[in-house]
Amino acid sequence: MNFSELKQDNISQIASRIPCPTYDRQELKTGIVHVGVGGFHRSHQAYYIHQLLEKYNTLDWGICGVGLREADRKMYTILKKQDYLYTLIVQHANGAVKSEVIGALNEFLLAVDTPNQVIDKMAHPDTKIVSLTITEGGYNFNPLTGDFNFENPDVQQELLQPDQPKTIFGFLTAALRKRRANGWPPFTILSCDNIQHNGDVARRMLLAFVQKQDAELAEWIEQEVCFPNTMVDRITPVTTPAAIDYLQETYGVKDEWPVICEPFIQWVVEDKFANGRPPLEKAGVQFVPNVTPYEKMKIRLLNAGHSVLGIPGAIHGHSTINDCMEDVVFARFMRQFMDKEATPVLDAIEGIDLEKYKDSLEERFANPNIKDSVSRICSESSAKLPKFLIPTLQENLAKDGSIEYATLILAAWCYYSDQGINENNEPLEIIDAMKAELHQAAQHTQKEALAFLKQPAIFGDLSENKRFVKKYKEVIQLIYQEKNIRKLMNESIG
């Protein structure tokens, strides 16, 4: 079949096959600078903005993407070639697929090539919001103390050379300094990462950094800049070559980096914006005074639930989250973890029925068309589990609640980090900034059962809790002896 490359000049041909932006992209102005353009930003925030553009022509709210790292070059190159257009492929559980070309991004800058342009763009008076999906690691805090990590060599360098920023903190500071010097109001910093109190964390880290570089500027930021907390949600698996082929074969459109996602979408945001915001409520965003209970619910159920399936799933040899859900032992284990361990330590949220929320998570995880790989779910577990799972365990230890399910997952994670292969002797794809340290600690387990727990930045002082240690030792022994994670899960669910 003849195909059209996805780019602005081809929109008129493509639009007869697949919905394309109908707003005038030439007229789009950048109101938002977004740092960290991956699949998730493109399925979530950019999609909300696209909807506003389609329905309300809010042309002041285009998005300029920014990549801080060399690893962002591929996204930059592809999007630039495609005039920042990409296709969002929404996969419904019943097999329906709805694809749409998204036009909300109107620029992209790669900070490693043009750092000054990034500063100027953030500092431009039209920019009202700088939003972030920089992952847990991007916030540069010490996981044990929660303090800003001044040991990071990039941070040390940019503290000395404020006009040559490297990390997000260097860029935000340089841009805010410029705005202040020009008498322009600051932008709002909108964190969209899966971190509880993400806005508060962004604020604390930025202020720690600026205080070292420019105390006077820090005072201004403290008074003037808003950092709303947010809860973001839309399952967005890694794009596969099959998605690219699908668009080409079905619609004759060549898009080199489309995004796949589920139909569900949610964004809960605190309404604290110093310098204006798009009318996102018109696109379904919930504005609330306090996002804490929502983010806690989501992180402790959805994100933890993912890990509870993914880690043993990887060991057993399931390749996707929906494969795990098709396995009744895994599905029941995950639900029981949610019911018996996560829910008892959650706060009630007015207007939310937790049972229904959990039912909906089961349905979403089971969506057979999302094919979310367990390797994506297990990636960066060293940053995820201390936020998603270990707090639930600690709270249950404190109130004598059930710890069985979470303990099995931590023991399974040790085995996973140690062995590097699954139970079919196939290699595991382990993606983790701490991969080497995790393996190093885990490999001594058979001699010293608690070896893996001796990583305080991840486990805190869990290895000193008698009740936990007893359970953990039992489970570790069984995992290594039996080499059958599913059997152990089956025994737990009774």
Q: Are strands 266-270 and 230-233 parallel, antiparallel or unpaired?
A: antiparallel
When binding is defined by CB under 6 A, the residue of 234, 358, 471, 486 that contacts ligand CS2 is 234
Cα torsion through 37, 42, 46, 51, rounded to 10: 170
Nearer to ligand CS2, 102 or 321 (CB): 321
Residue 445's Cα: distance from chain center in Å?
A: 31
Nearer to ligand CS2, 40 or 468 (CB): 40
Nearer to ligand CS2, 34 or 306 (CB): 306
Q: Tell me which stretch binds ligand CS2 (CB under 6 A): 107-115, 166-174, 232-240, 245-253.
A: 232-240
Question: Which residues have a Cβ under 8 Å from the Cβ of 466 and sit 6 or more positions away?
Answer: none
When binding is defined by CB under 6 A, the residue of 384, 405, 410, 415 that contacts ligand CS2 is 384
Question: Is the four-CA dihedral 361, 291, 194, 175 of positive or negative sign?
Answer: positive
C-alpha 85/C-alpha 24 separation (Å) is 13
**Per-residue mark of binding to ligand CS2, 327-366 (x: CB under 6 A):** ----------------------------------------
29 closest CA partner among 132, 101, 106? 106
By CB under 6 A, residue 235 contacts ligand CS2? yes
- Angle at the Cα of 314 (from 309 to 320), degrees rounded to 5? 65
- For residue 96, with 0-12 CB atoms within 10 Å meaning exposed, 13-18 middle and 19 or more buried, which class applies? exposed
By CB under 6 A, residue 303 contacts ligand CS2? yes
Nearer to ligand CS2, 251 or 405 (CB): 405
By CB under 6 A, residue 194 contacts ligand CS2? yes
**Smallest gap, in angstroms, from Cβ of residue 304 to ligand CS2?**
8
Touching ligand CS2, residues 424-463 (CB under 6 A): none
**Tokens encoding 130:** 């700088």
User: If residue 190 lies in a helix (H) or strand (E), which one and from where to where?
Assistant: strand 188-191
**Smallest gap, in angstroms, from Cβ of residue 235 to ligand CS2?**
4
Nearer to ligand CS2, 370 or 462 (CB): 370
**Tokens encoding 232:** 């973001």
Q: Tell me which stretch binds ligand CS2 (CB under 6 A): 119-127, 168-176, 227-235, 350-358.
A: 227-235
Q: Tell me which stretch binds ligand CS2 (CB under 6 A): 229-237, 311-319, 433-441, 457-465.
A: 229-237
C-alpha 103/C-alpha 47 separation (Å) is 9
**Smallest gap, in angstroms, from Cβ of residue 58 to ligand CS2?**
24
Nearer to ligand CS2, 44 or 486 (CB): 44
Residue 141's Cα: distance from chain center in Å?
A: 16
Residue with the CB atom nearest ligand CS2 in the bound state: 306
Nearer to ligand CS2, 194 or 392 (CB): 194
When binding is defined by CB under 6 A, the residue of 214, 233, 323, 327 that contacts ligand CS2 is 233
In terms of phi and psi (left: phi > 0; alpha: psi -120 to 50; beta: otherwise), the region of 86 is: beta
Nearer to ligand CS2, 327 or 372 (CB): 372
> φ and ψ at 259, to 5 degrees?
-125, 135
Nearer to ligand CS2, 180 or 384 (CB): 384
- For residue 181, with 0-12 CB atoms within 10 Å meaning exposed, 13-18 middle and 19 or more buried, which class applies? exposed
By CB under 6 A, residue 296 contacts ligand CS2? no
Q: Tell me which stretch binds ligand CS2 (CB under 6 A): 113-121, 214-222, 230-238, 339-347.
A: 230-238
Touching ligand CS2, residues 361-380 (CB under 6 A): 377
Nearer to ligand CS2, 21 or 310 (CB): 310
By CB under 6 A, residue 132 contacts ligand CS2? no
User: If residue 4 lies in a helix (H) or strand (E), which one and from where to where?
Assistant: strand 4-5
Nearer to ligand CS2, 179 or 234 (CB): 234
**Tokens encoding 352:** 């939310």
Q: Tell me which stretch binds ligand CS2 (CB under 6 A): 116-124, 148-156, 231-239, 273-281.
A: 231-239
**Smallest gap, in angstroms, from Cβ of residue 69 to ligand CS2?**
19
Number of residues that bind ligand CS2 (CB under 6 A): 8
C-alpha 157/C-alpha 351 separation (Å) is 48
Cα torsion through 43, 49, 54, 58, rounded to 10: -170
| Distance set, CA 59 to CA 5, 131, 282, 397, 411 (Å) | 25, 18, 15, 52, 51
- For tokens 């399952």, what's the residue? 235
**Smallest gap, in angstroms, from Cβ of residue 314 to ligand CS2?**
13
**Tokens encoding 413:** 């994670």
**Smallest gap, in angstroms, from Cβ of residue 327 to ligand CS2?**
18
Nearer to ligand CS2, 192 or 411 (CB): 192
Residue burial 368-403, b: 16+ Cβ < 10 Å; e: rest: ebbbbbbbbbbbbbbbbbbbbbbbbbbbbbeeeeeb
Q: Which residues bind ligand CS2 (CB under 6 A)?
A: 194, 233-235, 303, 306, 377, 384
